[in-house]
Amino acid sequence: MSTPEIVVATEELAEHKSLLARVWDLCRRQPLGTFGALVVLLMIFLAVFANVLTPYNPEAASWENQLTAPNAQFLMGTDHFGRDILTRIIYGSRTALFVGFAASIVGATLGLVLGVASAYFGGTFDIIVQRVVDVVLAFPLIILALVVVAAFGTAIQYVIIAITIPFIPQCARVVRSNALAIREIPYVDAARAMGFSHARIILRHMVPNVMAPYLIMITAFMGQAILLEASLSFLGLGVQEPIPAWGLMLQGGAEEYAESAPWIPIFPGLAITVAVFGFNLFGDALRDVLDPKLRRE
Amino acid sequence: MYAYIVKRLLLMIPTLLGAAVLVFYLLRAVPGDPCEIRLAGTGLYADPAEIELCQKNLGLDRPLYVQFFEFVGGYFTGDLGDSMWTGRPITYEIGLRFQLSLQVAIMATIVSVLLAIPLGTISAIRQDTWIDYVVRAFSIAGIAIPSFWLGIMIILGLLIITQQWFGTPWMPPIDYVSPFEDPLANLSQLIWPAIATGYRYSAVATRMTRSAMLEVLREDYIRTARAKGLLEKLIINRHALKNAMLPVVTIISIEFAFLIGGLVVTEQVFNLNGLGKLFVDSVGAQDFNLTQQLAMLVVLIFIVTNFVVDLFYAWLDPRIRYA
């Protein structure tokens, strides 16, 4: 329990170092988090430069190359449509990141507003919001996501909605508990005494002080969102063909050809695992750095 | 104690009612009902009269609140309605598949306990050694690996191994056999989905066991036990593990409720005709009746499990007040 002082001390020392040295210090203290950050950066790199990195079209079938085993030309082989697996994995990182970022940021932001408002207003409003949050949290993630898909249909924008909705109450609950403590700090009273509007107090005085749990929730959501998108696509209820998506690559042909062409299911699954692993490690490290109190779940 | 139980039971009602409202109205948030989708969604010409007839048959022409009261009223009369997709009563469809899903869920929980408690304990005893790091990596990987991919890999592994050892590839049987008729055939079918699901759920429990053990091992009574020269094995088993079990039991029970969610994908991979697959099929077929009843079933399992865990917790640890 004596670690907090040490952390503060090293951080004060770090003030005098160059940015690069500080980043290096952080990496040394968080080796797993650094690995996670590298995976995240690699994924962003692949997504941004997908069209430069690979000569193949991710969507066009090429029948003469059907079910080719991994070789020098197709490093991870081709699927039953003759499409290069590596190409589809590289483009698939676009889909995963797009869905992941959109769902995490929208979900966490709506949760942030709801959580802070719930803590700030308190009373009946708080009770109602918390009961609604209780209800939504009683659903396993994928069940609620599937209910949304059942209502809206299957397309990438509906997948994002389906993943966003379960995230809102999760973030709202965490943010609320942080915001409750901030509401008691005198500057909020001071702001109220000066006659500031509720919106101004919430946005200018409370929201900036719950940024740490907010950022932690976003990174924690990223891994979950990627996994959930892959699960929905795997079930045939998420992203639809021919859009390259990792979960989709495991559906259809993957099981059928598992024995004769094992490269079809192996590589997309590895991609999902590494991506989720990376985001989780990065998120854990971020949590340790930003909020040591949250460390013990 | 009794007042506490009654109070907790009464508190379930608003949550269940809230869940019913959420599921019911979420499913109907978008215009278009199963009839329109079934008849007009094909892109061919659909006779408006035919759509109307279909809506009348399924009771979709009535106001939403009437349909909602019928939905909730079904829980008091025991009539959960018919599936819009198969036309059979929903209680029949669920009853047909309940045993299989329950069995996989229980087996997956057992797998998860068998992995989590020994691994978490050894990881705590050997804190910051390579064993600890391996166990922690193993459990973090459990969260990252999609259970459906793990399922495909298990099938692939079985195919390759049986091919090499016995000359013929073997796959788990697809038809469900009751464990009371042929336990061996049943086990050879369901052990694989149980492993694929259980491994994932062991991850959180392993971490929980590890942190609970670490905390308990620092207690004074452990130091006392060591000071009086007790065998380390006895200290771990009798003094530490018992006291560390409380949060672990909680997390495992709560996960049991969430297992149903995990089954949704696992049953698909192993082609098991269980509740998870029924849920996916009902979503795919836009069968609102079936989807909402299955979603409610999952919520009910979750709430009841939580209730039982709280009672159990209060019983195990008398310091917990019935507030």
Q: What is the C-alpha separation between B244 and A289, in angstroms, rounded?
A: 28
Q: What percent of chain A has a predicted confidence (pLDDT) above 90?
A: 29
pLDDT of residue B7: 83
CB B257 within 8 A of CB B305: yes
CA nearest to B149, candidates B269, B281, B278: B269
| In chain B, where the domains are located | 94-274
Task: Please list, in sequence order, all residues whose beta carbon lies within 8 angstroms of the beta carbon of residue A169, skipping any fewer than 6 positions away.
Answer: A111, A114, A132, A133, A136, A137
The answer for A5, left when phi > 0, alpha when psi is -120 to 50, beta otherwise, is: alpha
Q: Quote the pTM value.
A: 0.86
Q: What kind of fold does domain A30-290 have according to CATH?
A: MetI-like fold (1.10.3720)
Query: Is the model more confident about A231 or about B183?
Result: A231
Judge whether B138 is closer than 8 Å to chain A, CB to CB: no
> Max CA-CA distance within chain B?
87
A143, A248, A251: best mutation site toward chain B, by most B Cβ within 10 Å? A143
Whether the ω angle into residue A242 lies within 30 degrees of 0, i.e. cis, is: yes
User: A143: nearest CA in chain B?
Assistant: B261
pLDDT of residue A226: 94
How far off is chain A from B232, nearest CA to CA, in Å?
A: 26
Burial A21-32 (b: 16+ CB within 10 A, else e): eeeeeeeeebeb
Query: Is the model more confident about B41 or about B92?
Result: B92
H/E run at residue B261: helix B242-269
Q: Which of A269-273, B160-164, B257-261 has the lowest mean pLDDT?
A: B257-261
How far off is chain A from B276, nearest CA to CA, in Å?
A: 9
B37, B152, B300: best mutation site toward chain A, by most A Cβ within 10 Å? B152
pLDDT of residue A29: 78
Give me the mean pLDDT over the A106-122 stretch: 93
Token duo for residue A133: 């949050």
Confidence of residue A221 (pLDDT cuts 50, 70, 90): very high
Give the CATH H-level superfamily of domain B94-274.
MetI-like (1.10.3720.10)
Judge whether B302 is closer than 8 Å to chain A, CB to CB: yes
Q: What percent of chain B has a predicted confidence (pLDDT) above 70?
A: 93
Q: Does the pLDDT value for residue B91 go beyond 60?
A: yes
pLDDT of residue B94: 87
Judge whether B183 is closer than 8 Å to chain A, CB to CB: no
User: A141: nearest CA in chain B?
Assistant: B261
Q: What residues of chain A lie within 8 A of the CB of B19, using their CB?
A: 135, 138-139
How far off is chain B from A186, nearest CA to CA, in Å?
A: 31
pLDDT tens digits for range A131-181: 899 899 888 888 889 888 888 888 888 899 999 999 999 999 999 988 988
* ipTM at complex level: 0.85
pLDDT of residue B257: 76
pLDDT tens digits for range A34-55: 888 999 999 999 989 888 888 7
- CA A107 → CA A148, A210, A243, A283, distances in Å? 14, 15, 24, 16
Q: Does the pLDDT value for residue A296 go beyond 50?
A: no
Judge whether B25 is closer than 8 Å to chain A, CB to CB: no
